[in-house]
A and B are shown apart, each in its own frame.
Chain A
Amino acid sequence: MIQSQPQLQLVEDYFKAFYELSRQSLKDNIDLKMYTIPSEDLMIEYLDESRTNLTLDDYISPSIYKVNPIKDKKEIVAVDTSSIRIAESSRGVIIAVKGAVIHKRTNKKIKCTVIGPFLFYVTKKNFRKLLGEHYKPIYSRDRYEFYRYSQKIFAEILERKIQKYVAEIFKNTLILFDGSLTVSDRVYSPSILEEILKKCLENGNDVLAFSKTTSIDLEILIKQLNLENFKPPYLVDLTHVFLRNFSGIRLLGRVFLAHLTNRCPGYRVDAPLNVSDPSMLVGILVGNDPLIYGYPETLILAHDYSTFTKMDVITIHTLLRKMDIEIVSPTSTRDLLFNPIDGDVV
């Protein structure tokens, strides 16, 4: 089936409401003087969990699947998002989120669609209103933690929106997500991921989720599982190990260690539960998308195009200045702003 490229207008319509929300938030009694975030604080945070330390169960030996590159042509779609805090004051924070969809056709032509950036002015006051049905009370020790949390939430909202969008719009492709197919109560609306996976299934799209930051300690694992004799590419099914190690999470897929190229680290790769032969899926990926440091090229591009550059930040500052918001670099004022411990629930 020939996959026609989704029209840009369609994409735009899809994100209209999100943009409207963004615009509304910027009108929300915004502080006219805000501070830039010191660069050491500018950690761009992804949706992934932090580093995972797994303890292997001695009694269960995980299944290992050999991956054979499959040259059958398949379109690949990769999604990634990123977020950044642009400016903050004692009242609120301005967050920017941006995503990218990379679509690689079977003729290897690549189409990239950047979505965003969307800007949000978030305060403890408007937080609930902005999140609407997705709102969940959170506890934060101080404003700073609240701001970081807000950043995470809005990044996740956009990420899920884009994932849902590609699940609906594309047909018979292999879709690559950044992150995992795990949901926990901490994140907003776990049911959305379920919906996304359902849509994928309906549209004949396969899904693989690659984790950038969950690096499984390969060396230990290789030793424990006697993997020395295995030549990449291969998959190790770690689903049970994960289930045993984490209680508060729900897996919407199976968890694998994917070791795809020699001398490159392994990554955590999640595949939906309905996938009967995950090694075939990875084989199709390897056959259609070159690996760069063991990581699919389309996902790397999605990451590159969604990441905020210095220039993006300068530009957003320019835009805010045009909205009469004074953006100043913090000096010691920052301490004044955040030192008081004002932990409370919003």
Chain B
Amino acid sequence: MKILAKNGDTLEILANPEEEILERGDYLTIEDGGKTLLAQVIDIEYADVPGVLEDALRELSSEDFVDSSSIDPYSLGSVIANIRDARLVIAKVRGVVMNGELRNDVLWLPSRFRSKISKTPPSLIMELSKSIGRRNILIGECMGGWISITAEALDGALTIITGKKEMGKSHLAKMLVVNLVEYGAKVMVLDINGEYVGLSRKIDGGESEISRKLFILTPGENFRVSLSETGLRTMLDILKYVYETPTASLREFSRAWYIVEKLNGKISLRGLVEAISKIQMNESIRDALLSRLQSIESLEFFNDSGDFSLQEFLSKLSYGAALIIDLSKTSPQGRRVVVEYLLSKLSSMLKDESIPPLFLVAEEAHLYLRETYWDDLVTRMRHIGVFPIFVTNQPDMIPDSVYRQADNIFIFNFTNDSDLDYLAKASRVDAETVKKIVKNLPPRRCLVIGKVVNDLPIVVKTRSLPLVTMGETKLYFNVEKTYLSLRD
């Protein structure tokens, strides 16, 4: 390989087709005089070799009927084939390796003629992409070497996993969940497809190591809460954001809430309905509130006699646990109600430090997260201890402000140009890298950007998990048993 040209931070490298096979995302080390430049392959094209068109045309015009052979004393034929097939490798300079560190503040260009270009050994990639921490999470391979990230790099961070459908996003998210739990973290998963329940099972059907640390809460089934546990603030948010209740009505609702509390000593859905039917208020407000309460009641998420306490539940969880909120059986509106409940609860519990920080894996969050929560989650809530991992196949449903704050992004394949444009604009590496690499990623491979890889973008082939990573409804009863045993 030879350097042909440099434009900005893009190198054009001429490569012989017989040289090692390169893939987009691979790293090249360019060595010259003891120094090493690191560059990442973002594209491979045919080199513009003079005369190729002429040759190709000549051959095309006669290939159908001419059978040719040659007496080629200097074996030029094979050399010609190689030259004609020369490749142009487009690579982005990532920095100069100095004392085992990647520096992008050093200005140095290797010689075009003397420098030796080769595939970067996996050990160097591993070394350079290593983030701080010692809790390793083996996520897959890169250029034939293993790639581990650390739990510490996810800790306190905002992580986004995105990519087209079926590319392996949830698989990766599950891998992170399992490892985080094993390292003692608490993880809450908003599981919209009911697919995380499988993590309790090994592929061979046996119980997995983390099955005892996996708790499934299904709203309306084993997850029902009382209004007093929920509190007025949260109920007002639910009415306001999920049911679009006007302010005047919310005021009347608060009034009714206080009346019920005063009269009954305890708040209940029944009591609220009764109070709102009886106390004096504008008829249209009364109708509006009653119909909304009816709808809330029908979700069967709120339970007057229930004694479930999220706080109690969370504080009972020992070292390392995953709390899976199975939203797959819940209506779209119900999901939003449940999430309002969860987030407002988490927020207040974390603020008064009654529970330790936790990771929040949110699959397709745009389906249930109200708009105002995005910024809240990535700023205020992150400070008090909710570390979001957003998983989505619709990247443009996540506001770009969230991307800008993201510490880690795992991008699987996208073919849609508008998705690519959006991501390219929002993420921390150059647009060309994102577009060229991501567009051509095969399934189960992702471009990893950010803290987890020490800001060295790498393409990782995610490893498989010995667990059932697909949602399987059959497992439901098993899992419920697990939860019940916890309550005993």
Give the B-binding residues of A (Cβ under 8 A): 8, 11-12, 15, 19, 22-23, 102, 108-119, 301, 304-305, 309-312, 314-316, 318-319
Q: Which of A8, A110, A115, A309 interacts with B54 by CB under 8 Å? A: A309
A5 to B52, CA, bound (A): 31
Cβ A311 vs Cβ B51 within 8 A: yes
Q: Which of A23, A113, A315 interacts with B71 by CB under 8 Å? A: A113
Q: Does B76 sit within 8 A of A, measured CB to CB?
A: yes
Cβ A319 vs Cβ B74 within 8 A: yes
Q: Does B331 sit within 8 A of A, measured CB to CB?
A: no
Cβ A111 vs Cβ B68 within 8 A: yes
Cβ B83 vs Cβ A314 within 8 A: yes
Cβ B71 vs Cβ A115 within 8 A: yes
Cβ A119 vs Cβ B74 within 8 A: yes
B76 (CB) vs chain A CBs: closest residue = A315
| B80 CB contacts on chain A under 8 angstroms | 311-312, 315
Cβ A304 vs Cβ B58 within 8 A: yes
Q: Does B67 sit within 8 A of A, measured CB to CB?
A: yes
Contact bitstring B275-295, A, C-beta under 8 A = 1, else 0: 000000000000000000000
Q: Which of A113, A118, A301, A316 interacts with B73 by CB under 8 Å? A: A118
Known contacts A108-B65, A110-B65, A304-B62, A315 near B72 by CB under 8 Å: no
Q: Does B50 sit within 8 A of A, measured CB to CB?
A: yes
Closest 8 CB pairs of A and B: A310-B51, A114-B70, A112-B68, A19-B73, A311-B51, A110-B66, A315-B80, A115-B71
Q: Which of B50, B67, B73, B79 interacts with A116 by CB under 8 Å? A: B73
| A19 CB contacts on chain B under 8 angstroms | 73
Q: Does B352 sit within 8 A of A, measured CB to CB?
A: no
| B84 CB contacts on chain A under 8 angstroms | 311
A119 to B49, CA, bound (A): 23
**What are 30 residue pairs bridging A and B, where the CB atoms are less than 8 Å apart in the complex?**
A8-B69, A15-B71, A15-B73, A102-B66, A109-B67, A110-B62, A110-B67, A111-B67, A111-B69, A113-B68, A113-B69, A114-B68, A114-B70, A114-B72, A115-B70, A115-B71, A304-B58, A304-B62, A309-B58, A310-B50, A310-B54, A311-B50, A311-B51, A311-B52, A314-B49, A314-B50, A316-B76, A318-B83, A319-B74, A319-B79
B52 (CB) vs chain A CBs: closest residue = A311
Cβ A117 vs Cβ B74 within 8 A: yes
**Distance of A340 from chain B, by nearest CB (Å):** 33
| B74 CB contacts on chain A under 8 angstroms | 117, 119, 316, 319
Cβ B71 vs Cβ A116 within 8 A: yes
A309 to B59, CA, bound (A): 12
**Distance of B67 from chain A, by nearest CB (Å):** 5
Known contacts A315-B83, A316-B76, A12 near B51 by CB under 8 Å: no
**Distance of B464 from chain A, by nearest CB (Å):** 45
Give B67-93 interface residues, CB cut-off 8 Å to A: 67-74, 76, 79-80, 83-84
Cβ B51 vs Cβ A301 within 8 A: no
Cβ A305 vs Cβ B83 within 8 A: no
Residue of B50, B51, B55, B76 contacting most chain A CB atoms (<10 Å):
B76
**Distance of B182 from chain A, by nearest CB (Å):** 56
Cβ A117 vs Cβ B51 within 8 A: no
Cβ B65 vs Cβ A109 within 8 A: yes
| B54 CB contacts on chain A under 8 angstroms | 309-311
Cβ B76 vs Cβ A112 within 8 A: no
A8 to B69, CA, bound (A): 8
Cβ A318 vs Cβ B68 within 8 A: no
**Distance of A14 from chain B, by nearest CB (Å):** 9
A111 to B69, CA, bound (A): 8
A112 to B64, CA, bound (A): 13
Residue of B58, B70, B84 contacting most chain A CB atoms (<10 Å):
B70
Q: Other than the known A301-B66, A316-B74, what 16 A-B pairs have Cβ atoms closer than 8 Å? A: A12-B71, A15-B73, A110-B65, A111-B69, A112-B66, A113-B71, A114-B69, A118-B73, A305-B68, A310-B50, A311-B51, A312-B80, A315-B79, A315-B80, A315-B83, A318-B79
Q: Which of B50, B65, B69, B73 interacts with A22 by CB under 8 Å? A: B73
A316 to B74, CA, bound (A): 9
| B50 CB contacts on chain A under 8 angstroms | 310-311, 314
Cβ A11 vs Cβ B71 within 8 A: yes
A320 (CB) vs chain B CBs: closest residue = B74
| B71 CB contacts on chain A under 8 angstroms | 8, 11-12, 15, 113-116
Known contacts A113-B70, A115-B71, A116-B71, A311 near B83 by CB under 8 Å: yes
A8 to B67, CA, bound (A): 13
